[in-house]
Structure 1
Amino acid sequence: MEGNKKRALTLYRWSVELTASIQETLGITEVILRNSIDNQLQRWNDNEKGSPTSWLLHEPARPLLSLTQGKRLEAQKRARKSADLCSENHSRSGQPITHDDVLAHTMFGMWKDILPNHGLNADPNKIENRNRRRLWEEAIEMAFSLADDPTGETTYWRVTHLHGLRNRVSHMDSLFNVDVIDIINDPFALVGSIDPALVDWITGTSTVRSVHSRRPK
């Protein structure tokens, strides 16, 4: 019994370490993903609006407005709350929130939900899905300029897999029956479709494969 407890604790400690290594890789991937999409959406919105206007701070052009409204407003609230907690001695104390402040408080799910929906039960004629395709074709596809992905299907599934894995590790769910090595290729491929220099960096810094290889017997 005592021996079994010791092995169980060793396995649990390894699982915690694996979760932390996955979170690190996913966190970096999320920043790269959102920055790349944001750049293209900002250009698109400026063109649609006819002048430079932050699509995160102010109402964006349609259909970006309807696709992001709730999540965009929530990100603004989180950014303002974070700013309110800022120390009075901080250089930005009392300053209004910026576009980058809101961007940093967006949720991963928002980026998944503006990509073309290639889910098994997705209705391509639904207005939301038509709007997703329009944004992909007019803006977001250029965020993944190195991908051969005209319909956005490959990018959609990569981001969807990462969103699911992110939720799992955030809640410390078991990874024992998850093919971590297969799924962790998705962030590398996703970043590679954005910038080859960044994929070299993220693969060089990720510890997921190393930690996974040390799974206790």
Structure 2
Amino acid sequence: MTTTAATAPPLTRWISPPRFAPYQLEASGNARSALRLYDWNRELSGAVYELLHMFEVVLRNAMDERLCAWNAKQPNANGLGFHSPDWLLDPAPLLIRLTRNGQDIRKAHEHATTSARAWQPSRSVAHSDVLSQLSLGTWRYLLPNKDPGRQRLWNEALRDAFPKLTTSSRLLTAKVHDIHLLRNRVAHLEPLIRTGVVSHRLTDVLDVLRAVDTVPEQWASGQQRVTTVLKARPR
């Protein structure tokens, strides 16, 4: 069925043709079915975002705890002492390099300062403020790959953030990488109609959380709506 101005639901006027095209293709050109699919995709995006909220909070807190402990053991520039446990305000050289020469930390600090002063102009920015402004991409690129510095950070610190990991660190990094890609699709309002991919990422999220501890894994598993929304996909 070819969509025309006479057959298309009025709402489709406000959705650009390139944005609506994947749903029309999936619905074999039926605009009303495509719109139902579009609405379902919006609901699925919300469910995925809720899951990612739980995932990111647990991931960053688990990794942050180990990075604070590691940073406090790193000699400072004059070699007479050590860096602060606050790796976001006093990062060791390796952490500066692995956060794009400190750019990720500086940007997070700027956002934290703006956010804090919007509510209370005189309030100073704390570690937790900056931590909350780091992107999921920052955490993904602190995990190990072929880079010797990332491997060192894993061996000396971050492996302890995942005490229940039963697979390789390489597979853990791959899972977080794929979850990060899904997060970007949701953030940019992209279609999630390849439901097999979403199902796999749900499994990845729970696997990574389980590597941290069974408590957050069970929390996310019990709260997530992704499975229910996937089953409700329009036919």
TM value normalised by structure 2: 0.81
| More displaced stretch, 137-146 vs 171-180 | 171-180
1:166 corresponds to which residue?
183
Gaps of 5+ in 2: 9-29, 76-81
Instruction: Indicate whether 1:197 and 2:186 are aligned.
Output: no
User: Among residues 121, 126, 149, which one is paired with 1:98 in the alignment?
Assistant: 126
Question: Structure 1 residue 62: deviation in Å?
Answer: 2.6
**Other structure's SS at 2:103 match:** helix
The residue type equivalent to 1:67 in the other structure is: L
Q: Write the deviation string for residues 112-139 of structure 1: whole angstroms up to 9, x where unpaired.
A: 111112xxxxxx3xxxx10000000000
User: Among residues 41, 63, 67, which one is paired with 2:98 in the alignment?
Assistant: 67
CA distance in 2, matches of 1:176, 1:21: 14
Instruction: Indicate whether 1:35 and 2:52 are aligned.
Output: no
CA distance in 1, matches of 2:201, 2:134: 23
Question: Which runs of 4 or more aligned residues in structure 1 lie more than 4 Å from their structure 2 counterparts after TM superposition?
Answer: none
| More displaced stretch, 173-182 vs 70-79 | 173-182
Q: Write the deviation string for residues 94-151 of structure 1: whole angstroms up to 9, x where unpaired.
A: 110000000000011111111112xxxxxx3xxxx1000000000001100100345x
CA distance in 1, matches of 2:104, 2:217: 28
Instruction: Indicate whether 1:116 and 2:141 are aligned.
Output: no
| More displaced stretch, 180-189 vs 37-46 | 180-189
Give the alignment's Cα RMSD to 1 decimal.
Answer: 1.6
1:56 corresponds to which residue?
88
The residue type equivalent to 2:162 in the other structure is: F
Identity of aligned residues (%): 33
**Other structure's SS at 1:160 match:** helix
Question: Structure 1 residue 6: deviation in Å?
Answer: 2.2
CA distance in 1, matches of 2:166, 2:149: 21
CA distance in 1, matches of 2:47, 2:96: 35
CA distance in 2, matches of 1:32, 1:53: 20
CA distance in 1, matches of 2:187, 2:128: 24
CA distance in 2, matches of 1:163, 1:5: 31
Gaps of 5+ in 1: 118-123
The residue type equivalent to 2:125 in the other structure is: I
**Other structure's SS at 1:135 match:** helix
Question: Structure 1 residue 163: deviation in Å?
Answer: 0.4
1:131 corresponds to which residue?
149
TM value normalised by structure 1: 0.87
**Other structure's SS at 1:200 match:** helix
Question: Structure 1 residue 48: deviation in Å?
Answer: 1.6
Question: Structure 1 residue 154: deviation in Å?
Answer: 1.6
Instruction: Indicate whether 1:80 and 2:113 are aligned.
Output: yes
Computing the radius of gyration over CA atoms, which structure comes out larger, 1 or 2? 2
2:20 corresponds to which residue?
none
CA distance in 2, matches of 1:149, 1:131: 21
